[in-house]
Amino acid sequence: MAYVIAEPCIGNKDASCSEVCPVSCIHPTPEEPGFAEAEQLYIDPEECIDCDACVEACPVDAAFAEDMLPPEWARFAALNREHFGHGS
């Protein structure tokens, strides 16, 4: 099960989570093209190793284990997958 970045990241994009991710599965990073235009950051569910580092690092509490997403943010699981072209 992967982690998911949800609504609190929108407009924030602190990127502390991408700095601590041991497998670099959170994108876009501040160094990547498109960072400024991106509404939020995303976790690649096929690369995520479920380490929980992003949860601890996120200052706005936007990272969740997929099975712990609040119901009102359930759609963010699909948004994270789709960002990486993994479908819904």
And the tokens for 14? 């602190």
Q: What single DSSP character describes residue 39?
A: S
Q: Could you tell me the pTM of the whole model?
A: 0.94
Q: Where are the domains of the chain?
A: 3-83
Going by C-alpha positions, the residue among 57, 21, 54 that lies closest to residue 66 is: 54
Going by C-alpha positions, the residue among 1, 9, 4, 29 that lies closest to residue 82 is: 4
Query: Does the structure show a pLDDT above 70 at 3?
Result: yes
pLDDT at 16: 96
pLDDT at 26: 98
What's the CATH class of domain 3-83? alpha beta
Query: Does the structure show a pLDDT above 70 at 88?
Result: no
pLDDT digits (tens, 9 = 90+) for 18-46: 999 999 999 999 999 999 999 999 999 99
pLDDT at 47: 97
How many Å apart are CA 16 and CA 21, to the nearest integer?
9
